[in-house]
């Protein structure tokens, strides 16, 4: 029988270990940049396997640091790996890796929160949104300090098909502190169900993959870390603008232990609060005595659709923020108060 003619996967040549590189370049972890390194390549290989096959893939890695995960991505067969790192101290070590993997590793010194991922890869890798995901992956052992703002930004990008999602339904394999990972994947009625669960799950299939014990990191963080995989849905489960979904979900979770109507109320100015809350809940056919955590994504879809209908009738509603009304009340109470007037004089 003819031998298989499959080309062997790329393997990095022998290099100093990640630990040795850290010593060589004196890379003390900076707390401010949430630096917790993974030195065990078996573990970084395991994270990378959660992304699926990376053969000939395009990959964006967030925060490569000393490059453990970077090595695993290269060894998994990625053709083009773009790494975005904020801390200049890691650049020389990454350059060493880049020399060991000619033409495969591009290094960007920058902030992932502002980096234009939509310009990082050739347009030719794009796939239609309705088709299979492109062969582009985002992978990262995220810095804790940016993980929540970053995932919210990417969820908004998914809704608008911008950023890394101009190429199609780019998949994400990311780490989060365990509590955040649990919130992202929490199902209806579970203890961790929150705003983040609804925002992530109306746009993506979100899967918790495995937990990395804190002791696996150097330095050891106070918490364990969860690896979460996201695949954007072809059809979002709520078809209204991201900002509108975000506003309704945020308000509903305002009082997570109370009946959901209490949060819905906060969407409306005091003068019409009772009537519009009733109208919205009736239109959505949602039981006002359910708790926010008991609401399913279809419940949220009905609520956001009902809110969108009310906003179409009165566009000023969308700009209403109960905090502004509270603040204004507080100020007028202060100026009306004789005691305060006395204090001021
Ligand atoms: N990937 C490495 C590993 O697994 O060992 C390092 C992970 S460490 C948790 C997070 C990395 O993200 C650090 O290298 C840190 O400098 C970098 N970082 C922090 N904030 C960043 C930002 N806004 N943009 C890009 N990189 C950032």
CA 63 / ligand 1 centre spacing (Å): 3
The CA-CA-CA angle for residues 292, 296, 297, to 5°, reads 115
The answer to the question of whether 36 is labelled as a binding residue is yes
CA 146 / ligand 1 centre spacing (Å): 9
On whether the CB atoms of residues 164 and 119 are closer than 8 A, the answer is: no
> pLDDT (tens digit, 9 = 90+) per residue, 158-189?
999 999 999 999 999 999 999 999 999 999 99
Cβ–Cβ contacts within 10 Å for residue 255, how many?
A: 17
Q: What 3-state DSSP class applies to 252?
A: helix
**Of the residues 32, 33, 71, 142, which should be mutated to test ligand 1's pocket, given the most ligand atoms within 8 Å of the CB?**
33
Give the model's confidence band at 336: pLDDT under 50 very low, under 70 low, under 90 confident, else very high.
low
- Alpha-carbon Rg of the chain, whole angstroms? 24
Q: Whose CA is nearest to atom 10 of ligand 1?
A: 143
Give the model's confidence band at 3: pLDDT under 50 very low, under 70 low, under 90 confident, else very high.
very low
Q: Whose CA is nearest to atom 23 of ligand 1?
A: 111
Complex ipTM over 0.95: yes
The answer to the question of whether 38 is labelled as a binding residue is yes
**Of the residues 60, 140, 143, which should be mutated to test ligand 1's pocket, given the most ligand atoms within 8 Å of the CB?**
143
CA 230 / ligand 1 centre spacing (Å): 20
Tokens describing residue 297: 């994504």
Q: What's residue 340's pLDDT?
A: 42
CA 35 / ligand 1 centre spacing (Å): 6
The number of the ligand 1 atom at minimal distance from the alpha carbon of 144 is 9
CA 66 / ligand 1 centre spacing (Å): 9
pTM (two decimals) = 0.92
> pLDDT (tens digit, 9 = 90+) per residue, 94-146?
999 999 999 999 999 999 999 999 999 999 999 999 999 999 999 999 999 89
Q: Whose CA is nearest to atom 14 of ligand 1?
A: 65
The full 3-state SS of 6-44, as one line of letters, equals CCCCCCCCCCCCHHHHHHHCCCCCCHHHCCCEECCHHHH
Task: List pocket residues of ligand 1, CB cut-off 6 Å.
Answer: 33-38, 62-66, 68-69, 84-87, 90, 111-113, 141, 143, 146
Q: Is 46 exposed, middle or buried (0-12, 13-18, 19+ CB in 10 A)?
A: middle
Cα–chain center distance at 278: 33
**Of the residues 60, 65, 148, which should be mutated to test ligand 1's pocket, given the most ligand atoms within 8 Å of the CB?**
65
Q: What's residue 6's pLDDT?
A: 62
Q: What's residue 7's pLDDT?
A: 62
CA 136 / ligand 1 centre spacing (Å): 20
> pLDDT (tens digit, 9 = 90+) per residue, 34-51?
789 999 999 999 999 999
Please, what is the average pLDDT of the chain?
Answer: 93
């Amino acid at each position: 029988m003819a031998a298989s003619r499959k080309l062997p996967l790329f393997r990095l040549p022998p290099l100093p270990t990640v630990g040795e590189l850290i010593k060589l370049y004196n890379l003390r972890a900076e707390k401010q940049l949430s630096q917790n390194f993974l030195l065990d390549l078996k573990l970084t290989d395991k994270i990378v396997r959660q992304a699926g096959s990376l053969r000939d893939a395009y990959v964006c890695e967030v925060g490569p640091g000393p490059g453990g995960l970077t090595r695993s991505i290269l060894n998994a067969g990625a053709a083009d790996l773009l790494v975005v790192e904020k801390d200049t101290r890691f650049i020389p070590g990454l350059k060493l890796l880049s020399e060991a993997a000619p033409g495969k590793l591009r290094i960007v010194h920058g902030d992932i929160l502002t980096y234009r991922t939509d310009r990082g890869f050739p347009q030719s890798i794009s796939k239609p949104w309705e088709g299979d995901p492109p062969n582009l992956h985002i992978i990262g052992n995220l810095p804790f300090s940016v993980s929540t703002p970053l995932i919210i930004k990417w969820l908004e990008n998914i809704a608008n098909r911008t950023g890394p999602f101009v190429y199609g339904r780019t998949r994400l394999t990311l780490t989060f502190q365990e509590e955040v990972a649990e919130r992202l994947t929490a199902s209806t009625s579970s203890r961790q169900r929150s705003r983040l669960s609804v925002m992530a799950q109306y746009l993506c299939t979100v899967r918790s993959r495995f937990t990395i014990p804190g002791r696996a990191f150097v330095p050891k963080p106070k918490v364990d870390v969860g690896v979460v995989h996201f695949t954007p849905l072809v059809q979002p489960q709520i078809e209204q603008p991201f900002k509108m979904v975000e506003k309704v979900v945020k308000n509903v979770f305002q009082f997570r232990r109370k009946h959901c109507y209490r949060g819905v109320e906060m969407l409306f100015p005091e003068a019409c609060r009772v009537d519009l809350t009733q109208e919205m809940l009736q239109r959505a056919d949602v039981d006002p005595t359910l708790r926010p955590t008991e609401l399913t994504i279809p419940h949220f879809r009905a609520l956001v659709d009902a809110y969108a209908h009310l906003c179409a009738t009165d566009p000023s509603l969308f700009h209403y923020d109960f905090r502004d009304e509270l603040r204004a009340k507080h100020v007028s109470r202060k100026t009306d108060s004789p005691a305060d007037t006395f204090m001021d004089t």
